């Protein structure tokens, strides 16, 4: 048998730069090869994420250039941040459509005189309330999906579908529902005993906030349900047999086995969802507009649209910083809970 | 023990009370009842909005006022009108192409990264994975301004004395595909890392002995064997891009190419390379045709259909992918 | 041609040295087996030949070409893996032809070679099966066919039979030998099973601790082990080892003497600590000593445990003063006063009886206790028995 010409790769016979490249790559050490293959990933992430993050901070240190061709004014240090946080920038920021709602509003975010702080609180209130409801409802959905029953597959599809609905359509659904004249929602909420909605809820910050929270809960509970379901299904079933033999009722099994074992999963899921919820923008834009419920991302876009690039960058950077703090908590959890996943 | 007394009681009590008594004696029934109640409530709340969209879409325009829970008449014409008033199909097609481009792009790059993180040992692996993880959580708003300037040709780089302006990508697919890729690549990387990591080393060695390069072994053996994982990452990326709002909203001006043909000849073309996605189509109805609620509803239904089909077909993949991406990593 | 040379090949992983200064010269058409305990570096050595790992230093040549830094695909090798490693998403034909298709061979040529390979490993009519539809033995044949079809200069086999059941393993052993005869290609075979190594190879390379201990034909390794490790590793059951001291009149062990003239062996001097090694089949009952040309003095011992194997009986003996207590040295693996003897099944040995045994002088091995190196194979020259002159010259080489 011995040496045959066939044993050299035909591809190698092509010669030229192709073969040279292949040869070069094959001779890299494992570490070099790993870094080489990561180049495209970090090129994209660098261009679209790391570089903009740094640039945003740099832009935030410059004044707005409202006139002229230049997009950014002179270097002003932390002035943008200071003015945002003290409320001095408010005169230039967009006001809610109904500034007087502050008088009788029930939600704290409109009480603030400072618009930036009110954007933070609007975002926080939205995130905390919607994540709380999503967790409870998602838990319920997960418990239902954890059962064995005929047609489970289809029930699961039905529960997941809202997750897959484009945000703009999600917004459109709730926009139409609460549109005076056609939406049944307006009549419905006005009959609610404990909470008085205005006749044009989509123009009212507080009413809109409630509607947007409902819209978000409708769409994202399914995501929460899937995460919790995964937690439920990782519980060793024989534990329930042990509990039954010891005479535990269903409720006791839930309380002493299911809840404690699924708790870490729920915490991770809640943190994960809170981080995502703080980016809220699309639903607001579609349902009632950023003027009505100014979230942090809304504030970035509106100041950006008004060519206040310095201010917009400062808001964007503060938004990133607030979320970044939450991300740190998440990463800390991830790093300390062992990395066996990867 | 309790079997003697209830016989009499049941005669003179209503069916509900009888049921309650039985439930108290046999809690399993109560749980069963709770289970079915919960299931029905969940099904109703998730599906009712779609039903109501359908009601709205089928109601003729002149009878829209105070439409109830049933359509006021039957007018399927709305589903045709949406393609006539606006070329809604072009917006949808754009979204499809953008989603498909991003998916292919993400799968190729994430395959390389998944291979590295899943199969290679090298210093810096942990920190690099954390960097990928961290970036996926940042709000797109934090990236918007520099990217907007970059894609509008307002960023210049000094190179060998000459300054090069960034290409004007606003409105083109790249102004959206690049941000989408960065946004959704981390999830795919984590999914593929898990799948690629599970392929036995022997198979990769065998492929290399048989004559593939390291990259050849990845694309000829590891990727095909991880087909379910690749499909999961692909389906999720596609859906998430199709659903994305922020960059879809801000990285184009909502225009699509306008063409005027006469007897097969192109007479007029403007806005070429304007790739407004589905989102701008839907918002187009909301902005320009403020009263045509039935068309907004019809467009929404048509817009949801593709992802609804995907969910039905690929629900297992979606479930496993989402839980893996969020919990395992 | 398929000659494989390793010079000074060293492989380190961080602080761990897997292979150190390995030198090997494997001839074209030779069947060489790397054998050693797990973790000894035999698989790493094979991987450096395959190109799956690059050695830290040293060079490798295959067929006269230096391949140290070439990727596996360019080395003219084929490999069969322990876990068989068939591509589960391809049928037999696609698995076998994978390497040829990668090299853009014409379809007819691929078909011809696949058919021939299938014929050699008796897989005709199974080309369309998927790997998960086949038995372990069939899958192993496919893996071998995948290697054959490439007509490589060197076959590498990494414990290819380890995952098969015992019966199939013995069967495949003969198949591989037949294959080697038929193909006449260099085969480098890795195993931890010394029976495989003994039965199939032209030469055995015994590896331990990343070092080559001995490379020689199987019987040489068996009869003239280069050191204590090879002596203990080759042969089943293992060789008996007894610590001894060199005296003016021969060897003194704890419980018996072996008389010979130490001046005949230049490697040793009076007072040296040596290890005496003798295989179980070279220990005889005193009444059988007529069959041994050159026995030692009778050694008193007590039988402990008998292991009848059918064709022979293993007898565990305890030497020493009738006190049948095993003395276990914390350092050594076997008790110092235990001797294993293999006797004919017809012998009427019984457990727990006092016997006398003799050793075959010509089959006694001496090792330097400290370095482990072999000093001598056979002590027949030193006998003081009359009528046995002229044997001195024999063992002195």
The pair of three-digit structure tokens given for residue A202, joined into one six-digit string: 């989509």
Q: Check pLDDT > 80 for residue A65.
A: no
Confidence of residue A113 (pLDDT cuts 50, 70, 90): low
Comparing CA positions, the residue from C344, C374, C370, C72 lying closest to residue C216 is: C374
pLDDT, one tens digit per residue, over C81-125 is 888 888 988 899 999 999 898 888 999 999 999 999 998 888 888
pLDDT at B115 over 90: yes
Q: Could you tell me if residue A183 is inside a domain? A: yes
| pLDDT tens per residue, range B286-300 | 887 777 888 889 999
* Distance (Å) from the alpha carbon of B202 to chain C's nearest alpha carbon: 5
Task: Say yes or no: C247 and C199 in one domain.
Answer: no
Residues B277-286 have pLDDT tens digits of: 999 988 888 8
What dihedral angle (degrees, nearest 10) is formed by the CA atoms of A272, A277, A283, A284? -170
Please name the member of B66, B131, B178 whose beta carbon is closest to the beta carbon of A181: B66
d(CA C96, CA C115): 10
Partner residues linked to C359 by β-bridges: C283
Cβ contacts of C149 on chain B, cutoff 8 Å: none
- Which chains does A contact via 3+ CB–CB distances below 8 A? B, C
On whether the CB atoms of residues A300 and A315 are closer than 8 A, the answer is: yes
Interface contacts A/B by beta carbons within 8 Å: 291
Interface with C, mutate which of B204, B207, B210, B218 (most C CBs under 10 A): B210
Q: Give the whole-number percent of chain B exceeding pLDDT 90.
A: 40
Give residue B46's domain range: 6-63
Residue A1, pLDDT above cutoff 70? no
Structural domain includes residue C295: yes
Q: What residues in A contact C74, CB-CB < 8 Å?
A: 8-9, 12
pLDDT of C228:
92
User: Residues C238, C241, C244, CA angle at the centre, nearest 5°?
Assistant: 170
CATH of the domain at A246: 1.10.3720.10
What pLDDT, on the 0 to 100 scale, is given for residue C389? 41
Instruction: Give the CA distances from residue B216 to residues B221, C79, C143, C147, in Å, rounded to whole numbers and listed in that order.
Output: 8, 18, 20, 19
A98: pLDDT strictly greater than 70: no
Taking 90 as the threshold, does the pLDDT of residue B50 lie above it? yes
Lowest mean pLDDT among A290-294, B45-49, B194-198, C391-395: C391-395
B244 and B287 together in one domain = yes
CA distance C115 to chain B (A): 18
**Is B170 within a domain?**
yes
CA distance C146 to chain B (A): 8
pLDDT of the residue at A340: 39
E strands of chain A, at which residues?
A: 62-64, 72-75
Contact A218 B310 (CB under 8 A): no
| Range with the poorest average pLDDT among A64-68, A331-335, B259-263, C324-328 | C324-328
Segment C204-243, tens digit of pLDDT: 999 999 999 999 999 999 999 999 999 999 988 889 998 8
| Mean pLDDT of all residues belonging to chain B | 85
Range B250-267 average pLDDT = 79
Count of the separate structural domains present in chain B: 2
How far is the C-alpha of C344 from the C-alpha of C88, rounded, in Å? 51
**The predicted structure's pLDDT at residue A341:** 38
Same domain, B19 and B161: no
Does C101 contact chain B (CB < 8 Å)?
no
Residues B159 and B31 in one domain: no
Cβ distance of B132 and A334 shorter than 8 Å: no
Q: Which residues of C touch A3 (CB under 8 A)?
A: 1-2, 63, 76, 153
End-to-end CA distance of chain A: 45
By residue range, what is the domain housing residue A240?
93-306
Tell me: pLDDT of C335 over 90.
Answer: no
Identity of the residue in B126, B211, B278 whose CB atom sits nearest the CB atom of A339:
B126
C173 and C48 belong to one structural domain? yes
Query: To probe the interface with B, which of C85, C90, C99, C147 has the most B CB atoms within 10 Å?
Result: C85
Nearest CB neighbour to A164, from listed B121, B144, B239: B239
- Are B18 and B157 in the same domain? no
ipTM for this prediction: 0.87
Query: Is the CB of B38 less than 8 angstroms away from the CB of A144?
Result: yes
**Beta-carbon separation of A161 and B311 below 8 A:** yes
B172 to A44, A82, B193, B268, B275: CA distances (angstroms): 17, 37, 31, 20, 6
Q: Considering only CB atoms, which chain B residues are within 8 Å of A25?
A: 213-215
- As for how many domains chain A has, the answer is 1
A179 lies in some domain? yes
Residue A337, pLDDT score: 63
Question: Average of pLDDT values for B313-324?
Answer: 86
Same domain, B11 and B124: no
DSSP state of B152: B
> Is C231 domain-assigned?
no
Give the three-state DSSP class for C66: strand
pLDDT at B159: 66
A126-169 confidence digits (pLDDT tens): 999 999 999 999 999 999 998 888 888 899 999 999 999 999 99
Helix axes B173-197, B125-135, angle to 10 degrees: 140
Kindly state the average pLDDT of the residues B17-25: 76
Q: What average pLDDT does the segment C187-216 reach?
A: 92
Is A68 domain-assigned? no
Per-residue confidence band for C18, with pLDDT thresholds at 50, 70 and 90: very high
- Structural domain includes residue C206: yes
- Contact between C102 and A7 using a beta-carbon 8 Å cutoff: no
Between B and C, how many residue pairs show a Cβ–Cβ distance under 8 A?
Answer: 63
Counted domains in chain C:
2
C-alpha B116/C-alpha B190 separation (Å) is 11
- Going by pLDDT thresholds of 50, 70 and 90, the confidence category of residue C31 is very high
Contacts with C87 from chain B: Cβ below 8 Å: 203, 206-207, 221, 225
Stretch C390-395: mean pLDDT, rounded? 40
CA-closest candidate to residue A92, choices A334, A323, A305, A339: A305
pLDDT greater at residue B262 or residue C5: C5
Q: Is residue B68 part of a domain?
A: no
Q: For testing the chain A interface, which of B146, B238, B250 should be mutated: the one with the most A CBs within 10 Å?
A: B146
Last residue of a domain, one of C190, C225, C260: C225
Residue A27 has a pLDDT of 81
- Whole-number average pLDDT of chain C: 86
**Nearest neighbour of A316 by CB, restricted to B53, B145, B282:** B145
**What pLDDT score does A6 carry?**
41
Q: What is the pLDDT of residue A152?
A: 87
Other Cβ atoms closer than 10 A to B50: 18
Q: Check residue A181 and give left, alpha or beta (phi > 0: left; psi -120 to 50: alpha).
A: left
For residues A235 and A253, give the distance between their C-alpha atoms in angstroms, rounded to a whole number. Answer: 12
- On chain B, the residues whose CB falls within 8 A of the CB of A8 are none
Selecting from C28, C103, C185 the residue whose C-beta is nearest the C-beta of A9 gives C103
Task: Identify whether residues B21 and B54 lie together within a single domain.
Answer: yes
Q: Which of C175, C204, C225 is the C-terminal boundary of a domain?
A: C225
Considering only CB atoms, C98 lies closest to which of B202, B205, B210, namely B210
Is a pLDDT exceeding 50 seen at residue A278? yes
Chain A to chain C Cβ contacts (< 8 Å): 47
Whether pLDDT at C382 is above 80? no
Cα of C187 to nearest chain A Cα, Å? 12
* pLDDT in the model for residue A217: 96
User: Is residue B24 assigned to a domain?
Assistant: yes
Q: Which residue range forms the structural domain that includes residue C104? A: 4-225
Statement to judge: residues C27 and C119 lie in one domain? yes
**Kind of pairing, strands C186-191 and C154-158?**
parallel
Partner-chain contact B208 C73, CB within 8 Å:
yes
Q: Report which listed range, B2-16, C27-41, C332-346, is most confident.
A: C27-41
List the single residue in C with minimal CA-CA distance to A11: C103
Q: Is the pLDDT of residue B213 over 50?
A: yes
pLDDT by residue (tens digit) across B65-109?
A: 767 777 777 888 889 888 888 889 999 999 999 999 999 999 999
Domain boundary among C198, C225, C252: C225
- Which one has a higher pLDDT value, A235 or C322? A235
Q: Is residue B69 part of a domain?
A: no
Question: Which has more pLDDT, B103 or A340?
Answer: B103
Is residue B162, in this structure, part of any structural domain at all? yes
C9 and C108 share a domain? yes
Domain containing B295 — which CATH number? 1.10.3720.10
**Residue C277 and residue C194 share a domain:** no
Query: Are C83 and B200 within 8 A, CB to CB?
Result: yes
Q: C46 vs B154, which has greater pLDDT? A: C46
Tens of pLDDT along C277-294?
999 999 998 888 788 888
Query: Which of the four pLDDT bands, split at 50, 70 and 90, describes residue B172?
Result: confident
Contact C71 A26 (CB under 8 A): yes
Hey, are the CB atoms on B65 and A181 less than 8 Å from each other? yes
> Does residue C215 share a domain with residue C103?
yes
Chain B interface test: which of C67, C78, C87, C143 (most B C-beta within 10 Å): C87
For residue A51, tell me if it sits in a domain.
no
The more confidently predicted of residues C252 and C383 is C252
Give the separation between CA C397 and CA C386, rounded to whole angstroms: 23
Mark yes or no for CB contact C153/A6 under 8 Å: no
DSSP character at residue C373: B
C-beta atoms of A44 and B278 within 8 A: no
Give the C-alpha distances (Å, rounded to integers) separating A164 from A26, A269, B293, C280. 42, 18, 22, 75
Q: Which region among A197-201, A214-218, B80-84 has the lowest average model confidence (pLDDT)?
A: A197-201
What is the structure's pLDDT at B12?
Answer: 57
pLDDT at C236: 84
- The larger pLDDT score, comparing residue B178 to residue A184, is at B178
Q: C324 pLDDT exceeds 50? A: no
- Of B236, B23, C223, B130, the closest CA to residue A334 belongs to B130
B25 cis-preceded (ω within 30 degrees of 0):
no
Q: Is the pLDDT of residue A338 over 60?
A: no
pLDDT attached to residue A2: 40
Whether residue C183 has pLDDT greater than 90: no
- C77 at the B interface (CB within 8 A)? yes
Residue C232 counted as domain residue? no
The verdict on C174 and C277 lying in the same domain is no
Domain membership of residue B309 (yes or no) is yes
């Amino acid at each position: 048998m011995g040496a045959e010409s066939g044993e050299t790769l035909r591809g190698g016979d092509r010669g030229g730069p192709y073969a040279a490249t292949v040869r070069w790559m094959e001779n890299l050490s494992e570490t070099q090869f790993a870094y080489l293959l990561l180049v495209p990933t970090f090129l994209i992430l660098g261009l679209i994420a790391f570089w903009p993050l740094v640039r945003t901070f740099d832009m935030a240190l410059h004044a707005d250039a409202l006139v002229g061709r230049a997009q950014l004014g002179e270097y002003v240090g932390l002035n943008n941040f200071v003015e945002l946080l003290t409320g001095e920038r408010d005169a230039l920021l967009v006001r809610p459509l109904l500034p007087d709602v502050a008088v009788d509003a029930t939600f704290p975010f409109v009480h603030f005189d400072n618009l930036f702080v009110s954007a933070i609180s609007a975002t926080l209130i939205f995130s905390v309330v919607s994540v709380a409801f999503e967790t409870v409802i998602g838990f319920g959905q997960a418990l239902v999906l954890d059962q064995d029953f005929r047609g489970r597959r289809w029930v699961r599809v039905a529960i997941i579908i809202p997750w897959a609905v484009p945000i703009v359509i999600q917004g459109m659904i709730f926009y139409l529902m609460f549109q005076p004249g056609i939406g049944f929602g307006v009549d419905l909420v006005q009959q609610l005993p404990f909470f008085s909605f205005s006749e044009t809820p989509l123009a009212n910050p507080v009413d809109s906030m409630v509607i947007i929270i409902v819209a978000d809960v409708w769409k994202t509970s399914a995501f929460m349900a899937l995460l919790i379901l995964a937690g439920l299904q990782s519980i060793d079933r024989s534990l329930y047999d042990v509990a039954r033999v010891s005479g535990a009722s269903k409720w006791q099994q839930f309380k002493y086995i299911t809840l404690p074992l699924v708790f870490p999963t729920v915490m991770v899921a809640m943190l994960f969802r809170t981080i995502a919820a703080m980016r809220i923008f699309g639903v607001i834009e579609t349902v009632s507009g950023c003027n009505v419920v100014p979230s942090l991302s809304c504030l970035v876009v509106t100041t950006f649209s008004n060519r206040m690039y310095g201010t917009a960058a400062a808001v964007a950077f503060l938004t990133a910083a607030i979320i970044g703090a939450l991300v740190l908590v998440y990463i800390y959890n991830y790093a300390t809970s062992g990395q066996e996943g990867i | 023990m309790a079997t003697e007394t209830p016989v009499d009681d049941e005669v003179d009590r209503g069916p509900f009370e009888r049921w309650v008594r039985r439930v108290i004696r046999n809690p399993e029934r109560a749980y069963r009842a709770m289970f079915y109640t919960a299931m029905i409530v969940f099904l109703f709340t998730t599906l009712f909005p779609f039903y109501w969209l359908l009601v709205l879409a089928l109601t003729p325009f002149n009878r829209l006022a105070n439409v109830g829970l049933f359509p006021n008449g039957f007018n399927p014409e709305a589903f045709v009108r949406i393609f006539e008033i606006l070329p809604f199909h072009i917006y949808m097609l754009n979204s499809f192409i953008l989603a498909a481009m991003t998916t292919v792009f993400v799968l190729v790059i994430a395959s390389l990264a998944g291979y590295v993180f899943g199969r290679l040992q090298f210093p810096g692996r942990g920190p690099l994975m954390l960097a990928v993880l961290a970036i996926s959580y940042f709000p797109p708003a934090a990236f918007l301004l520099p990217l907007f300037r970059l894609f509008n040709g307002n960023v210049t780089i000094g190179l060998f004395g000459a300054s090069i302006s960034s290409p004007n990508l606003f409105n083109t697919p790249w102004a959206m595909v690049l941000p989408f890729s960065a946004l959704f690549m981390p999830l795919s990387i984590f999914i593929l890392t898990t799948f690629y990591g599970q392929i036995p080393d022997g198979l990769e060695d065998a492929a290399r002995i048989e004559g593939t390069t390291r990259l050849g072994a990845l694309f000829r053996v590891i990727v095909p064997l991880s087909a379910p994982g690749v499909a999961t990452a692909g389906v999720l990326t596609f859906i998430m891009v199709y659903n994305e709002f922020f960059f879809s909203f801000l990285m184009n001006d909502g225009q699509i190419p306008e063409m005027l043909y006469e007897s097969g000849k192109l007479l007029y073309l403007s806005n070429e390379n304007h790739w407004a996605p589905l989102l701008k189509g839907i918002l187009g109805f909301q902005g320009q045709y403020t009263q045509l609620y039935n068309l907004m509803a019809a467009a929404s239904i048509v817009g949801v259909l593709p992802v609804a089909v995907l969910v039905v077909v690929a629900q297992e993949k979606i479930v496993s992918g989402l839980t893996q991406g969020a919990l395992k990593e | 041609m398929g000659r494989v040379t390793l010079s000074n090949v060293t492989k380190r992983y961080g602080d761990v040295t897997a292979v150190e200064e390995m030198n090997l010269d494997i001839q074209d058409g030779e069947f060489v087996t790397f054998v050693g305990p797990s973790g000894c570096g035999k698989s790493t050595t094979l991987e450096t030949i395959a190109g799956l790992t690059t050695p830290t230093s040293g060079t490798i040549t295959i067929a006269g070409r230096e391949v140290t830094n070439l990727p596996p695909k360019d080395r003219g090798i084929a490999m069969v893996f322990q876990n068989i490693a068939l591509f589960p998403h391809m049928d037999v034909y696609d698995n076998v032809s994978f390497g040829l298709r990668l090299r853009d061979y014409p379809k007819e040529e691929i078909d011809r070679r696949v058919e021939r390979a299938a014929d050699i490993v008796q897989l005709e009519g199974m080309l369309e099966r998927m790997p998960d539809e086949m038995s372990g033995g069939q899958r192993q044949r496919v893996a071998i066919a995948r290697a054959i079809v490439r007509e490589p200069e060197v076959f590498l086999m990494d414990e290819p039979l380890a995952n098969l059941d015992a019966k199939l393993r013995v069967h495949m052993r003969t198949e591989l030998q037949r294959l080697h005869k038929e193909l006449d290609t260099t085969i480098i075979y890795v195993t931890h099973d010394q029976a495989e190594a003994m039965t199939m190879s032209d030469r055995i390379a015994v590896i331990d601790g990343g070092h080559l201990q001995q490379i020689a034909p199987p019987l040489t390794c068996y009869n003239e082990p280069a050191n204590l490790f090879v002596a203990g590793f080759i042969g089943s059951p293992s060789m008996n080892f007894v610590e001894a001291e060199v005296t003016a009149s021969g060897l003194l062990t704890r419980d018996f003497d072996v008389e010979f003239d130490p001046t005949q062996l230049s490697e040793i001097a009076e007072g040296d600590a040596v290890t005496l090694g003798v295989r179980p089949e070279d220990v005889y009952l005193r009444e059988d000593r007529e069959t041994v040309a050159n026995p030692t003095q009778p050694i008193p011992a007590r039988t402990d445990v008998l292991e009848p194997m059918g064709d022979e009986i293993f007898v565990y003996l305890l030497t020493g003063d009738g006190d049948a207590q095993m003395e276990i040295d914390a350092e050594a693996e076997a008790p110092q006063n235990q001797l294993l003897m293999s006797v004919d099944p017809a012998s009427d040995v019984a457990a727990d009886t006092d016997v006398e045994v003799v050793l075959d002088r010509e089959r006694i091995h001496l090792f330097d206790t400290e370095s482990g190196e072999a000093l001598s194979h056979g002590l027949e020259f030193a006998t003081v028995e009359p009528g046995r002159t002229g044997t001195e010259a024999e063992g002195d080489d």
